[in-house]
Amino acid sequence: MKTTLYKVLSLTAFIFIFSNSFAFAQVTSSSASGRNNNKPQEAEQAEAILNKISNDAGIYFKQGLLSLKDNRRSDTGEQFNKSVEVFLMSGVNVRASQKLQNCYSQLIETIYRIEFPSDAQQPQIRSLSATCGWNIENQLADDIAKIVKPASQSKPTADNSILASAVSGGSAQNPEAQIGFNDQKFEVSPLDELAKLELTPEEQQVEGDPVAQQQLQYAMVAVANKSLGFSFQVHPMIQQYINYYRGRGRSTMETGLYRSGMFMRMARRIFREEGVPENVAWLGQVESAWKPTALSWAAASGLWQFIPGTGARFGLRRTAYVDERNSFESATRASARYLKFLANRYNGNWELAMGAYNCGEGNVDRAIRRAGVANFWAAYPYLPQETRNYVPNILATILIANNPQSYGFGHVRPAPPLMYDQIRVPGSTGLNLVAQASDTSVQYLRYLNPELRTNVTPPEPYIIRVPAGKANEVVALFRRAPASKINNSNLANSAAGETWQTIANRTGVSVDQLMAANPGMAAPKGKVFVPQLGNNIQKTNYSRPATAASAAQTSSVKIVKAQAGDTVAKVAERAGANATEVAKFNGLLPNSVLPAGREIKIPSK
């Protein structure tokens, strides 16, 4: 059985509970020690058990370190969980052994320092290894210390030092330490393929192709009458990329035109507000195929593929909690401002501005100097290969997007605009609670908020996106509870006619605790806050019971703990009780599946 109390609690709450619990723990009495001395064989057996507990925990902890070194953060969290579970599931009183207690306490502290890096207190992996007697190499401990070192302690000498590293987790190459063991999920950027794209002879054929000639003439007219909102030189290579999209690149264009519907309305509005031609926003299709989590080989990220340095220049924060390069609105506005800056630099030449957006002002400036004229097609031979593909690709996309019927894409219907509400939540709010409040999933909230690097908002009041139409409901819920208690609660849906007692029966929380968590609510209505039992130390045992189902008698009920995979009916059968009565008493159904450790009340016969 792998599920324990530790899996139910958040790591922060868990560490607080257990570290404080051990702080007041006392070793066994001298009389107990005397009895052990009289039985050396039993003492040796007990010592062997304690050593096995420590060694098994060490194996899992080391596996967690190796996973972290490979940037497999979810695996890291799982292995660290198992390391702690060895102590909790052992049935041994950890406080009875000073060595085991020290090992356990340092393990909890070290995991916390790895998951939540800080300048003040670094994880002491070498010290933990020595205390517990674990075989963890010093090199591995030092590598992990570098990975979790906060950015303020790192001194990269140039922006290029962090360009080639993934940004979802910290590493020696990327000094940005990540909070938590949840990874941002990324998709491959289309720029990586664009850099290697080579047009075939058929695609390069323009003069002998009547359709291509007709489309080239349309492009010249569109530019001449300024219907696209800006001017550019119509070059045969633009038509060559149109040929590419008419053939083997058709699915790429169809996907881009479809996905553009989700973001193009927002992009046009922001570009217009920033004084950038709205059609230049089609640059987003070439940059990311409208995927907010696109990531290139050079660590360019988001809809607009900002590298870390350029993102910072235009106000995009990148911390252990958020990476605003993946934001919808913030990154779009930063992109428009960067493009406007580049257009001004090149006297309104949008081809050069687009080229510089791709490869940087320095490369474009050098190409212009070598060409002797500020003209993209004159500078073309001196630009990087990716940029040579990039600019005509965008111009081809703009032409197709503005007249899809003429280019054979009239059948593509853009996706509906991505709709959402925005609300302000307290600092360090868990997405699980927001998901419960807005009747959605954490996965969808991560989709709406791709800039979040973990399942927790930053430790400051933060504006988060929730499904459209849910803002008022979520805000009303959050106003009912003090901000200090928000993150120590879950939400439960109450049914019509339910009482606090029936909710208490099915949640395992007392009526008094429920009413305190929902002040001013005489009877449950709609969603109600349920305090997390893990934050009440009096209700938490530091050790795992020797048996999976333990019972505690009260004056009128018996309480048993469910095993993994149990239903109410199975628990009732083991207790010799009627399944229907037990289910009704706990506000559940007989076939309700229970998490391991869930307390079920059995009415006395």
Helix residue ranges per DSSP H, 225-349:
236-246, 250-273, 283-288, 308-313, 329-345
Q: Based on the number of CB atoms within 10 Å of its own CB, is 355 exposed (0-12), middle (13-18) or buried (19 or more)?
A: buried
CA distance 131 to 108: 13
CA distance 454 to 115: 11
> How do strand 489-493 and strand 527-531 relate by DSSP bridges?
antiparallel
Tell me the CA end-to-end span of the chain in Å, nearest whole number: 30
Residues whose CB is less than 8 angstroms from the CB of residue 455 and which lie 6 or more positions away in sequence, other chains included: 180, 182, 430, 431, 432, 442, 446
- Is residue 425 helix, strand or coil? strand
- Given a contact cutoff of 8 angstroms between Cβ atoms, the answer to whether 32 and 40 are in contact is no
- Given a contact cutoff of 8 angstroms between Cβ atoms, the answer to whether 271 and 281 are in contact is yes
Residues whose CB is less than 8 angstroms from the CB of residue 110 and which lie 6 or more positions away in sequence, other chains included: 123, 124, 125, 128
- Closest CA relative to residue 407, chosen from 214, 262, 202: 214
CA distance 601 to 504: 11
Query: Per-residue b/e over 184-199, b at no fewer than 16 CB within 10 Å?
Result: bebeebbbeebbeeeb
> Tokens 């083991």 — which residue?
574
CA distance 253 to 243: 12
Plot region of 180 (φ>0 → left; ψ -120 to 50 → alpha; else → beta): left
Plot region of 81 (φ>0 → left; ψ -120 to 50 → alpha; else → beta): alpha
Dihedral sign of CA atoms 517, 484, 426, 459 in order? negative
CA distance 134 to 480: 48
Q: Nearest 5°: phi and psi at 103?
A: -60, -50
CA distance 521 to 257: 50
CB atoms within 10 A of CB 536: 14
- Is residue 295 helix, strand or coil? strand
Active site residues: 287
- Given a contact cutoff of 8 angstroms between Cβ atoms, the answer to whether 600 and 568 are in contact is yes
Helix residue ranges per DSSP H, 96-247:
98-115, 125-132, 138-147, 190-194, 201-204, 210-224, 236-246
- Given a contact cutoff of 8 angstroms between Cβ atoms, the answer to whether 301 and 164 are in contact is no
CB atoms within 10 A of CB 371: 17
